[in-house]
Structure 1
């Protein structure tokens, strides 16, 4: 049975510091779900995990697991597992004994510990390397072993602190596939920390964005892209278009023209956000502009399109024959538009 994890007004001021590393964080992770905490370096992401795990104590605030306040409970009694950026395996132990360490520490015989460890080795698709020294395995294998070791402790909550950031893109993709597979096999609540919005999109049920120790956004993945709460969140989610203007009566007016936006209420100075991936080049449209520049991004490219007195960045599909200086028509669907008030 998976459990709910929640933190309430969680704050951390490190010794000798005057500013908070984390400020009054309120966050709930639903049972069996994966919440990704996304933010730039130094935003307080890892601090959150260390507080949940019990490796550090909060200055103020509470941590609850399955409705029970565990803030004062020792780390080893919380039922929380953690995987770090570095595997941190025991160099003097074999792969299987690294994974079976939790059982040995609990007083089980080596034979039982190894039997259980082999089960988790199979889960991470490394069943044939149990007898190897950890010095003889690859970086990707070592991270799988570290994941299996954490899972062997049967944690109710599993914390992942940028565990895939040191891996090459192919291995990262394989680890993402593994995490999704494990989620179908095991019933655990996950919290993953990353600075990579693409990793967040690949694994998250919900995204919590931390900026300078403060929670600026929490939603499902799609809303984090298309309805960011702040400009900082928009930039972290890869947004490229921020157009200054004025909002009145649900219409944003700026140098590129007037655009209706879905906003609950409010008028005033506002920045129009347009998701570049959702804008399409069409045969005819009221929105027309001239391609001022093209920037390749692999198979696709980003076009800088001058519209009126402003510009909009548009992601072009693979094989597009658009040229600099060409006049094109754009379709900017309502779901690609959002506003952030100044």
Structure 2
């Protein structure tokens, strides 16, 4: 059952429509990420849920209550911004206590709640410090504790990790997910970072041009993209251009391969999407498809070696685990790539015609 519903919400600024008939239902305790490039409308959706923007049309419902026109202070929303937005003249304790004081909570209750929140984020020993005396990661933890202190119904996170370095981002996103699961709070997380969304979300909404291109689990979004945009935006992808040959066969630069669920009539242009990890230099019974090409470039990425292989107008990327005992092929070398018929996905394919 939906705890938070965004029903056909649109938002326009003058003649510019930034969100178009956006629909989303979120279960209680679910962690949902809005993922997309800059300007896709994800932050505007978040701001409408928070009450900082009013939808031009549509409705927002939280726990059965229509909050579309309610001001932010009446929505029981906790929000963490990209900029930490901490009060520089207040201690960590007072920053976390701020919302509780505004709500008129008793002093003893405030003390107990702030202590609980600082313990939750592991910063109880820094209660008397000021923001300028703390690292960026510590400041963002304080901002999270301040958002959670009033016990909101929904937690909104607007790219809270983008100002941090890579190592801290990784550890902090894991902490955020752990705290969210511990509290069971319904959460919307806005990011343009695919790895962040894939690693911590229950579901992901991939946005483009103010619309939801696809909604699904990280597994579904990565392995079964619904549109060409999702396929190209999520992860690294190779696109093979060819023609359908009938009987589930596809012609790629004069080489024939089998493709699962290929519906195009013979001669129809076909685009097959393949992830680098689906390809192998080693043949096997499962990898029935074989394509030959020439190594164009080899990149050493630590535990993974990425090879770029050219086949006429097509280029395929292949990822192989680094092995000191087996150096990768050299540039200019001809290689055979192997993959299973079900490892690729046909993009922009016409719907199957139902039998009469």
Note the C-alpha offset of 1:180.
Answer: 2.3
* 2:190 is aligned with 1:193: yes
When residues 335 and 154 of structure 1 are mapped into structure 2, their CA distance, relative to the original with a 3 A threshold, is farther
Q: Deviations over 1:267-310 (max 9, x none)?
A: 54331100112222205663333322213334323211234663
Match of 2:327 in 1: 321
Match of 1:112 in 2: 109
Distance 2:49 2:185 in 1: 15
Match of 1:337 in 2: 344
Note the C-alpha offset of 1:65.
Answer: 1.3
2:231 is matched with which residue: 229, 234, 238? 234
When residues 3 and 229 of structure 1 are mapped into structure 2, their CA distance, relative to the original with a 3 A threshold, is closer
When residues 287 and 254 of structure 1 are mapped into structure 2, their CA distance, relative to the original with a 3 A threshold, is closer
CA RMSD, Structure 1 to Structure 2 (Å): 2.2
Match of 2:15 in 1: 18
Number of residue pairs aligned between Structure 1 and Structure 2: 339
When residues 43 and 283 of structure 1 are mapped into structure 2, their CA distance, relative to the original with a 3 A threshold, is same
* 2:313 is aligned with 1:301: no
8 A contact 1:282–1:331 mirrored in 2: yes
Note the C-alpha offset of 1:5.
Answer: 1.4
Moved more, 25-34 or 279-288: 279-288
1:257 is matched with which residue: 255, 258, 268? 255
When residues 252 and 47 of structure 1 are mapped into structure 2, their CA distance, relative to the original with a 3 A threshold, is farther
Match of 1:45 in 2: 42
Distance 1:49 1:334 in 2: 40
1:72 is matched with which residue: 65, 69, 72? 69
Gapped regions of structure 2 (runs ≥ 5): 350-356
8 A contact 2:264–2:270 mirrored in 1: no
TM-score, normalised by the number of residues in structure 1: 0.92
8 A contact 2:2–2:25 mirrored in 1: no
TM-score, normalised by the number of residues in structure 2: 0.88
Match of 1:270 in 2: 270
Distance 2:39 2:75 in 1: 26
Note the C-alpha offset of 1:321.
Answer: 1.2
When residues 264 and 23 of structure 1 are mapped into structure 2, their CA distance, relative to the original with a 3 A threshold, is farther
Match of 2:91 in 1: 94
What SS class does the counterpart of residue 298 from structure 2 fall into? strand
